[in-house]
Amino acid sequence: MQEQGFSSGVKAGASIAIGYFPVALTFGLLAKTTGLSLIEATAMSIFVFAGAAQYISLSLITAGVLPVLIVVNTFIVNIRHFLMTAALNEKMEPDARWKKALYAFGITDETFTVLATQPGVKVRTSFAAGVIIISYGSWVGFTSLGHLIGASLPAFLQASMSIALYAMFVGLLVPSMKGNRKVVSLALIAALFNSMFYFTGWLSTGWAIMVSTLASAIFIEMISRKGVAA
């Protein structure tokens, strides 16, 4: 049986920590150009620890969206974490609730994949701690480093970094669209809804994104269920 101690978890999470390097570094750079201070950018990574939600937050902050709408939008983006942690609870060894709460905070798409695919009946809490701590440390540390690098960039380069935010979203979306018609349809319909709200001025930016996301998801799910029923 494979060893599942803390050190083994650190080794298993090392690849995640390396993978977080460019993403967290870019987030720190963009946070600087958005106007967040070093403390604010680092605090976001410390308390949120969710890449997609943090990038979306930057775009909404730039657009001047109300804080409550930023919270609601990021909640919708991260709602999948309820399913991931519920599924992982069956895989983990029995332990105190406070310990489960701690490692549940550290569940991301990457850490979930590493933990859920471990061989054996149950995954030890110490192993999960190793995976999460090295991943979390990498994300927070490289966020701070990215912000410090951004502070030393010339003003014109800092201004041009805002384009990288949209490039990052495209980079996240395109791989998931390959060979998946449902994702393509979801992205297109959400874009259509958001464009309608933008050009008509019916909703503000924050509300438009939230309603477009929910409406497109509900629409695609209804179409999918009708197709299965037929």
What average pLDDT does the segment 23-40 reach? 90
DSSP state of 95: -
Q: Do 14 and 28 have their domain in common?
A: yes
Question: What is the spatial distance between Cα 223 and Cα 161, in angstroms, rounded to a whole number?
Answer: 39
Return the higher-pLDDT residue of 162 and 218. 218
Token pair, residue 110, equals 């990457």
Q: Could you give the angle at the alpha carbon of 65 between the alpha carbons of 61 and 69, nearest 5°?
A: 110
Quick: pLDDT tens for 116-164: 888 877 899 999 999 999 999 999 999 999 999 887 877 766 666 656 6
Question: What confidence score (pLDDT) does residue 96 get?
Answer: 92
Domain residue limits at 31: 6-175
49 and 132 assigned to the same domain: yes
Distance of CA 44 to the CA centre of its chain: 12
Contacts of 100 (CB under 8 A, 6+ apart): 89, 92
**Count of domains for the chain:** 2
Say yes or no: 146 and 183 in one domain.
no
Token pair belonging to 149: 């690098």
**26, part of any domain:** yes
Query: Helical H runs in 49-154?
Result: 51-62, 67-77, 80-91, 97-105, 109-116, 125-151
Residue 1 lies in a domain: no
Cα–Cα distance between 104 and 108 in angstroms, integer?
A: 9
Indicate whether this model's pTM tops 0.85: no
Judge if 137 and 207 occupy the same domain. Answer: no
Max mean pLDDT range (27-31, 45-49, 174-178, 215-219): 45-49
> CA-to-CA distance for 224 and 229, rounded, in angstroms?
9
pLDDT at 1: 44
Sign of CA dihedral 119, 107, 190, 187: negative
Residues 106 and 201 in one domain: no
Please report the DSSP string for 158-190 in residue order: HHHTHHHHHHHHHHHHHHHHTT-HHHHHHHHHH
